[in-house]
Amino acid sequence: MKMHLDPLALAAANLRAGRAPHKPRLRQIADDIRARQFDTAKRRLDKWLAAHSDDVEAVLLAAMLELRQGKPAQAKAHLSRCLELAPAFVSARIELAKLLFNSHSFDEARAEAEKLLAAENNNPLFRQLQARILAAVGDDDQSAAIWKQLARENSDRPECWISYGNALRAAGQREECVNAYRQAIACRRSSGLAWWGLANLKTYAFEDADIMAMQEEAKRIDIVPEDRINLLFCLGKALEDRGDYAKSFEHYAKANAARRQHTDYEWNEIAAELQVQKSLFTREFFRTRAETGNRTAAPIFILGRPRSGSTLIEQILASHSEVEGTSELPYIADFARQFLGQECRAHNLDYPQILSTVDHSRFRVLGDEYLRRTRLHRKTYRPYFIDKSPANYHHIGLIHLMLPNARIIDARRHPAACCLSMFKHNYTDTNLRLDELGHVYRDYVSLTAHFDLVLPGRIHRVIYEDMVANPETEIRRVLEYLGLPFEGACLRFHETKRPIRTPSSEQVRRPISAGAVEHWRHFEPWLGVLLRSLGSVLTAYPEVPEELQGM
């Protein structure tokens, strides 16, 4: 009996058929790549291309080999060559579009997606890619409309309903968002991502039947690890909401232990890098580079550890008539990783040491490029815009060199509350153990204290608990730092309509509440290892311990 294929499956099958090499020798090379026999594949492919340099199927295989080996720049060159030789080669164009999207070249990715859709405007794979690009640049309504169509056309696919739910969540359409996640669960009850979509709303309360269903699914031996991990996080949230903190922590701990096995993240390597920053970034270092960078004051960076109130600050400032909220933009980290990569290799130095060798004019180029890229995310002509990427605290020195007049706000929350909140969240690629969270928090406090010393007055710190207790006072302090007049709309931030994609999206659509300030104490009996790793940072909070000052 012929199997029925939904539109996405059919489109994927057609794409695979169009990509499959026709020549036996190229099919063998493709098999080598799939089997991860990269050296063999490269040797055979180089030999073939030496004699057939214009063979588009071979050039595409070269691109796929580079992608599998983590060489996007080389892969991009091969894909561009493919399209020079055969502009209608769909397999090459969609791979190029995906590569550009994954490397955050959203404007170029959108241009390639439009070319694909111009040739085949109803192809669900192309529309799916377009929806992701639109969401990445903040065109959420258009993205949600596409996902709605794709979910209806592929109604048995939970991933389509989940993506539709995520788009609705960003737009603040909570009821429709919940319905979409529920539809995904109806398609596949073990879909951990669908359950996590509900839990990650933070304000959603699971019913008894939900808890029983998640418990049953988590016990199954035939579900994939990713689903089980998400279900464990969700059960932790469901039991926490019911006040069963012991069982809740047990599930969070199991989820994190399982996640940590799949997380390639070494906190001690990050700690070593931050120590290098403190040695490199001195007052003298910045004095000799006082004239670098783009002099615009438009960007406002909100950084710090995740789950520290950064979304709340962003929502407050985005309620001001002169400030536009965008999202967590990737470009500063991209510059650190990509733009300086060539210099790192040439000088055999790592980031951030390489910054001491970079020609001063390069920082102006980077500042200009940052503004060019962020323009795509801006939908208004307000003079200031927010880049809320917590991890940018790793790049304060680079930000200052690129954009010396940009404002920097450090969002800080009680260390135990912040670290526990991170422990309860599934980050998928950066989850840490409790003691690691404490050590990283100490390193963060130490690094920002160092920049307070070498760049006095450069960073404005917002203490979450102070913002909750005295919102108007703290809002006025932030606006004074930004050089902006006070506006009452900032106090009514929960009324501001704008897309929000972070886990706190539903929370900041409500008035400020003190409920989260001391909530961590419900879990205190199980946090000994965290509290010990925090040490004096915990007891001195919100001040900086003496031993971390001036380091």
Residue 398 predicted with pLDDT over 80: yes
Q: Lowest mean pLDDT: which of 153-157, 164-168, 353-357, 498-502?
A: 498-502
CA distance 85 to 275: 49
- Contact partners, residue 545, CB within 8 Å, separation at least 6: 445, 535, 536, 537, 539
Does residue 485 come out as left (phi exceeding 0), alpha (psi in the -120 to 50 range) or beta?
beta
Cβ atoms of 122 and 154 closer than 8 Å: no
The predicted structure's pLDDT at residue 499:
65
Strand partners, 409: 302, 460
Please count the other Cβ atoms lying within 10 Å of the Cβ belonging to residue 92: 26
Instruction: Count the Cβ atoms, other than its own, within 10 Å of residue 485.
Output: 11
Look up residue 3 and give its DSSP letter. Answer: P
Answer whether residue 298 shows pLDDT above 80. yes
What strand order describes the sheet that includes 323-327? 323-327, 384-388, 299-304, 407-412, 459-463
Q: CA of 158: how far to CAs of 57, 302, 468, in Å?
A: 34, 34, 38
Query: 67: closest CA among 40, 43, 89, 100?
Result: 100
| 346 or 319, greater pLDDT | 319
Average pLDDT of the residues in 84-105 = 95
- Residue 510 has what pLDDT? 62
Cα–Cα nearest to 498, from 248, 208, 139: 139
Check: CB of residue 329 under 8 Å from CB of residue 137: no
Q: Would you say residue 12 has pLDDT above 80?
A: yes
Interval 453-463: pLDDT, tens: 999 999 999 99
21 has a pLDDT exceeding 90: no
Question: Which pLDDT does position 431 carry in this prediction?
Answer: 86
Q: What is the pLDDT of residues 477-530, one digit of tens each?
A: 999 999 999 999 999 888 777 665 555 555 555 667 777 889 999 999 999 999
**Residue 449, Ramachandran bin (φ over 0: left; ψ between -120 and 50: alpha; else beta):** alpha
Rounded to two decimals, what is the model's pTM? 0.93
Confidence of residue 256 (pLDDT cuts 50, 70, 90): very high
Among residues 100, 66, 62, 109, the alpha carbon closest in space to that of 82 is found at: 62
Beta strands in 223-312 (DSSP E): 299-304
Specify the pLDDT at position 396. Answer: 97
Backbone angles phi, psi at 195, to 5 degrees: -60, -40
Q: Is the dihedral of CA 208, 210, 216, 219 positive or negative?
A: negative
Residue 274 vs residue 438, higher pLDDT: 438
Contact present, 376 and 137 (Cβ < 8 Å): yes
HSE-CB at 256 with a 13 A cutoff on CA atoms is 22
Instruction: Indicate whether 2 pLDDT > 50.
Output: no
Closest to 189 measured CA to CA, from 211, 153, 214, 165: 214
Which is more confident, 348 or 424?
Answer: 424
Q: Residue 550: its pLDDT value, please?
A: 65
Q: Residue 1's pLDDT band (boundaries 50, 70, 90)?
A: very low
End-to-end CA distance of the chain: 72
Q: How far apart are CA 241 and CA 211, in angstroms?
A: 12
E strands present in 413-548: 459-463
Q: Is residue 530 within 8 Å of residue 416, measured between CB atoms?
A: yes
Q: What is the DSSP string of 378-406?
A: --S--SEEEEE-GGGGGGHHHHHHH-TTS
Note the pLDDT tens digit of each residue in 481-495.
999 999 999 998 887
**286 and 455 Cβ atoms separated by less than 8 Å:** yes
When pLDDT is cut at 50, 70 and 90, the band that residue 226 belongs to is: very high
Please state, for a pLDDT cut of 70, what percent of the chain lies above it.
95
Q: What is the pLDDT of residue 494?
A: 81
Q: Residue 461 corresponds to which tokens in the numbers above?
A: 């710190």
pLDDT score for 3 = 54
